[in-house]
Chains A and B, each alone.
Chain A
Amino acid sequence: MAAPPPSAPPPSAPPRLHLDPGQLARLGSLTIRARVIVEGALSGLHRAAVHGSSVEFAEHKEYSPGDELRHVDWKAYAKLDRYYVKQFEQESQLTVYLVLDASASMAFAGGGIAKLDYAAMTLAALAYLVIQQQDKVGLIACGDPALETLVPPRARTTHLHDLMAVLESLIARGGAGDEPPARALARIGELTRRRRALVVLVSDLFDPDEETLRMLVQLRAQRHDVSVIHLLDPHERQFPYDGLTQFEGLETAHKLLVNPAAIRRDYLERMEAFLAKARRTLTDAGVDYHLAQTDQPLEQTLLQLLVSRSRLGPARRGR
């Protein structure tokens, strides 16, 4: 099922208070910001807006002392005259992996806040929401290969503070490195093994090798729920520069002295082609794709994700 157009509001979303990302970024701690977003802008939304497969049979295990008796498969005992215990994955909780692209390109801030700040606030709000549902949520940040950031999924309320602290430290550090999210996504595949999880990636997807797209498709093929918030700065989409300008790369040492007017048309065509390809590749693979800009209200971005998840939830569970 194709994702709704990113610029259009979800049809079922009620009118909300719009939170300016720039002003929101000036609010105290990230926890407060997440609470403002969730409880202010998203109040009234169904609590189980983030659906996952809570109880799923995994395998039989021969009974051993200490196993709970309620998990003994009596039908198997009747057939085989031996005690087997049914084992379940994610026995009762949804596991959500939040993947934050903290590479240097995410530090770009055209006219408003940086993409990294926007992404961090978005993921913080999601984490707040997931913890409130008493599901497990973890965090992986990518970008700087020398600095691995992994917060294992937990469902405790205190875990939320850990998550927020990590996100705040990432914001404080700023974007760094040029490693695309592909490696982090691969790590999730290793961590979850055969257990299904909800993976939410916020990234600009600037990956010259397109490894990230391939890994997202691969995760989806492993039956994980994958949502991608493709985050761009308005300047990256409109290229509003004029006059002699020297562009310097955030992830490379390249410099380009150029008259932007002379190359605007070509740039915009290439950007649109890039967006179209990302959208087509991901939606074709069943990835929940959302294009967002840093100048759009955060709750709108979240609503797009949550509404989309609420639609996809029953279908995914039925599989």
Chain B
Amino acid sequence: MGFLAPLMLVGVVALAVPIAIHLIGRQRARVVKFAALDFLLSTKRRTARRFRLRERLLLLVRAIACAAVAIALAKPYTSCARKGPQVTRGPQAAVLVIDDSFAAGYLVDGRPWIKSASDEARRILTQLGPEAELAIVRASEGADHPSELTRDHLRLRDQLIALEASGRPADTTRALARAAQLLAASSHARKTVFLLSLLARTGLRPDDPPWGKDGPALVVSELRPAKLPNLAVTSLRSDPEPGAATRGVAFDAEVGNFSDTAAKVELSLAIADRVVARGTLELAAGERKTKHFLAALPAGVRAADAVVSLSGDSLAIDDRRWVRASLRDRVRVMIVDGDPRTVRHDDEVFYLEAALRPGDREDSGTSIRVITTEELGGIEPRAHGTAGAIDLDEFDVVILANVAALPAARVNVLADWMRAGGGILISPGDHVDPAAYDRTMLPLLPQGLRDPIDTTWGAPPDERDSRALHLVKWEADHPIFAPFSKAAPELADAKFFEIALLGPTTSADRKVLARFTNGAAALVEASSGAGRTLLFTSTLDRDWNDLPIHPGFLPLMQQAVRHLARKHQAFGDSDHAVGSQVVLPTADLKKLEVRAPDGVGTVFEGDRLVGRSSVRFGRTDKPGAYRVIGTDQTGSTHERDELAFVVNVDARGSDLTLAPAAALPPSGTGTGGAPADDERRVELWHALAAAVLLLLLAEGLLVQR
């Protein structure tokens, strides 16, 4: 222990004051020789003892108080080994980077780790003092970060108290980079980043360090327990399994053991909140294994939420994983082949058939019937009461591939069927006469056709490819393009040599979903009643383009057909990570509500819905099953199972393995001085001052007695 002002210790002489007062006080007491002392002694022996005790206590309290005042003025301090981050009081800039990833909810001694981190952060906040400019940066992926430092410590303290673990994985590197940015804008000489983190390696990327030697000092808290064993369901897939049962679904649940000891895990599968299967897995340290479940969906539903849970450990949030399990809906497609050929691959719909029914498998989800233009003459919707050769109501989608203009009567039948909910895809070709289409086919078209253009006309063969058009600027949010990225080479690389141009239109219902490099429309959509129509301005075979031999053709056709049939894939795009944005198609809805697992609803209507083909839902903060309720144009409201989706935590965050020290950026000097050492000074005069106050209080109470 040392003293900052040792001269003040001279004041300890003041200790003599209460002693002198005590002794003088005793001498000042009148002495009386008394004969009847026995009466006093017998009656008040206890009182006298208490009196003597009180006098001695008073002397003690006063002496200690006097000595404590002198010692406090000498400003004693002690040095101790650093426990927790070193904190220096005074003017400075500091950022508290706090791990609020879902792993921060790890229970340490029955208490979430993040609460300990919050306590520690508040302690640092107090020790930094009111002159420090601060910011709190949360280290979860995608967390909002503050824009500047502040001295509003009360607000920061409230933020810390309210801090809870999010559902996202850690992205400590990004948080440190943001901390460095905030500190760079500060004029303070002393800059410190306090990192309160579980230091999971998955949250720290070996990127370029956010600062150099002259950057802020990095003080890492030692809040991480020595071991953080964790078990997690890291993946869950479901696939229709017609072989198991009519309504059979196969589930593959992958479980990871992120600890250094083997573990035996009990798993359960629940569908629609009912446990339907159980199983166990034995996992070695660090091992991942997949458990295969077979189950049947409840009768009467084509889709349901399923969850796989494992026996609880200290981190519960990643012990469950949801999946949207559904039976695949079969889309019934009638293809009108406008240019049938005897040579199979020359046929107009050869590639289209292959794309819609790959491998000609039963489980492809699509049933196809190909007819010729002549056969189309027998179409009659059953609703019209006329028995025809082809019942349109047995189909969800009709594709007119290079079909010459139909008679008005047939067009009207198709238009009526479309308005009732059918979907039509039209593609031009050499048999399509734009003028004839303008005369009769307009009810089926989003927009009138004009003559096609051949971009390679007159070009030598070696320049043909360079003059070809490509698909660009597609509506990435549209369900048809949902499987594709914004660049999507599987689409963009396709070459279009000839395309049909479109005539002018004033229709507000029509929407261009994709364009070519020359700005011409490639894919146009329009609604008609409850139905939809799509116009693809090039052929569906290789006559005008080479799209059919590119990987993008199959998903494009699949998505287009399902979009027209209003039967979206529940697989793949129904599983989202916490914090991600979910695109929901809204074409025929006037109101859409998304209900989170905790029952909180988000409503899209009015300006948020009108004129949009889809909406983006971003409040996916909680893992679980999200329901979607839609109100269509007729005003009827019902749950849209095909739009329901699930949200799961990112399995990367379940791996809590300690990051190597090299993964952290180097600690800068912060102040331009020496880096923090392991010793810190603890000033004791505050405690002594408090003790003096307490002693004075005790002295007052004793005097009163």
Contacts and interface: CB of A to CB of B under 8 A. Distances in A.
A105 B35 contact: yes
Contacts of A274: 39
Interface in A77-101: none
Interface residue SS majority, chain B: helix
Interface string B33-62: 111111111111001100110010000000
B35 A270 contact: no
A202 to B, nearest CB: 14
Interface in B13-47: 25-26, 28-44, 47
Nearest to A204: B35
Contacts of B31: 245-246, 248
Given A244-B25, A257-B51, A236 B37 contact: no
A251 B42 CA distance: 15
B40 A246 contact: no
Interface in B333-357: none
Interface residue SS majority, chain A: mixed
A258 B47 contact: yes
Nearest to A269: B43
Interface stretch (A54-62, A137-145, A152-160, A259-267): A259-267
Contacts of B44: 256, 258, 262-263, 266-267
B557 to A, nearest CB: 106
A208 interface: yes
Interface in A193-243: 204, 206, 208, 233, 236, 241, 243
A208 B39 CA distance: 10
A246 B26 CA distance: 9
B47 A262 contact: yes
Interface residues of A, number: 34
B47 A236 contact: no
A252 B30 CA distance: 18
Contact of A244 (B30, B37, B38, B43): B30
Given A248-B31, A257-B48, A258-B48, A236 B40 contact: no
B38 A246 contact: no
A248 B29 contact: no
A259 B34 contact: no
Contacts of A251: 35
Given A257-B26, A257-B48, A248 B32 contact: yes
A185 B38 CA distance: 23
A319 interface: no
A107 B38 CA distance: 16
Nearest to B43: A266
A249 interface: yes
A239 B25 CA distance: 22
B37 A233 contact: no
B467 to A, nearest CB: 118
A254 interface: yes
A185 B33 CA distance: 27
A252 B40 contact: no
Contacts of A105: 35-36
> Which one of B29, B39, B43 has the highest number of Cβ atoms from chain A below 10 Å of its Cβ?
B39
Contacts of B34: 108, 236, 247-250
Given A244-B28, A246-B32, A247-B33, 7 more contacts: A106-B35, A108-B35, A246-B29, A248-B37, A249-B37, A262-B44, A262-B47
Interface of A: 104-108, 115, 204, 206, 208, 233, 236, 241, 243-252, 254, 256-259, 262-263, 266-267, 270-271, 274
Q: Which 5 A-B pairs have the closest CB atoms?
A: A105-B35, A108-B35, A249-B37, A244-B29, A266-B43
